Amino acid sequence: MNINQAFSILQSAGGVRAARIITEKYKKISFFRTIYYAWALRRGMPVAKIIHSKWFYGLEFYTNKHTLDPRPDTETLVSTVIKDCIVPQPRRVLDMGTGSGCIICALCKNINDLSGIGIDKSKSALRVANKNIKKLGLSEKIKTKHADFAKFKSAEKFDIIVSNPPYIAYGDTRVNDAAKFDPEIALYAENNGLAAYEQIAKNAVNLLNKNGKIYLEIGVGQSNNVIKIFEYFGWHFEHVEPDLSGINRVLVFTL
């Protein structure tokens, strides 16, 4: 099958943009592969899940069914940390719930002398993160560990803690169809989407250096509740950062 025929089939299934991305990624596509991709597009599968690739903060990441696809909203989290790290100095970062590794990789690529650890309770997600860490040449800077928010312990303390935890409440009808192709463990949390923040707030008190900061991505309308949770565990709210749509997206706390 020539590329124009493949483009036509994919366009009818998922639109011009999807067809263009797929045919640019794969210069040659067999008939059966084209039909499979078209079937996946009609089911609503995101293009990133089809081609196993998503760009984030100027870097290309491998992604699959075991991780969230990196999203533009999360670039606000990365930008906020970078903005606070203008002065060059060695720093250690902990990424709680690293998933594909996109956050910690983007940080270590853009902040001199930054290194750290990414943790996740999904071993499958850690395999994806390790693949991206190696691909981006960051194996000397970033290590991963199998652990969850509540139980992770460390002899060292960190200058920066970042997290984009699961924050969607079970039954939230605002979730789009594409989310059904993401792992539930990375999307949904108990207690109306706040359970992960409670675990992080309690445990991270023991993981942050005295002059360090924790940066959290939050969902729409969650800022007040998350601030209350962190203040209850002794954190001091510093500021909030909106995303490009003007929605409060990142909360910053100190101890």
Tell me, yes or no, whether 31 and 124 share the same domain.
no
Rounded to the nearest 5 degrees, what angle is found at the Cα of 126, between the Cα atoms of 49 and 137? 90
How many domains does the chain contain in total?
2
Q: Is 48 domain-assigned? A: no
Tell me, yes or no, whether 97 and 158 share the same domain.
yes
pLDDT over threshold 90, residue 193: yes
pLDDT over threshold 80, residue 139: yes
- For residue 149, the model assigns a pLDDT of 93
- For residue 88, the model assigns a pLDDT of 85
Interval 99-136: pLDDT, tens:
999 999 999 999 999 999 999 999 999 999 999 999 99
Q: Is 224 domain-assigned? A: yes
For residue 221, give the amino acid letter.
G
Inter-CA distances, 207 with 95, 148, 230, 254, Å = 11, 13, 14, 12
Binning pLDDT at 50, 70 and 90, where does residue 53 land? very high
Tell me, yes or no, whether 84 and 25 share the same domain.
no
Tell me, yes or no, whether 221 and 128 share the same domain.
yes
Range of the domain at 183: 54-254
Q: Where is pLDDT greater, at 176 or 9? A: 9
Q: Is 18 domain-assigned? A: yes
The C-alpha atoms of residue 57 and residue 100 are separated, in whole angstroms, by 13
Tell me, yes or no, whether 19 and 74 share the same domain.
no
Q: Token pair of 134, please?
A: 């190696």
Interval 59-91: pLDDT, tens:
999 999 999 999 999 999 999 999 999 888 999
Binning pLDDT at 50, 70 and 90, where does residue 180 land? confident
Tell me, yes or no, whether 73 and 189 share the same domain.
yes
Question: Could you give the dihedral angle defined by the CA atoms of residues 200, 203, 204 and 210, in that order, rounded to the nearest 10 degrees?
Answer: 150
Of 1-5, 22-26, 98-102, 106-110, the range with the lowest mean pLDDT is 1-5
Tell me, yes or no, whether 99 and 26 share the same domain.
no
Q: Give percent of the chain with pLDDT exceeding 90.
A: 90
Q: Token pair of 146, please?
A: 């199998």
Contact 77, 215 (CB under 8 A): yes
The C-alpha atoms of residue 24 and residue 34 are separated, in whole angstroms, by 13
Tell me, yes or no, whether 169 and 61 share the same domain.
yes
- For residue 97, the model assigns a pLDDT of 97
The pTM (predicted TM-score) of the whole model is: 0.94
Tell me, yes or no, whether 62 and 26 share the same domain.
no
Rounded to the nearest 5 degrees, what angle is found at the Cα of 213, between the Cα atoms of 84 and 89? 50
Inter-CA distances, 53 with 67, 112, 137, 223, Å = 12, 26, 17, 31
Tell me, yes or no, whether 155 and 196 share the same domain.
yes
Query: What's the CATH code of the domain at 69?
Result: 3.40.50.150
| Environment class of 3 (CB within 10 Å of its CB; exposed 0-12, middle 13-18, buried 19+) | middle
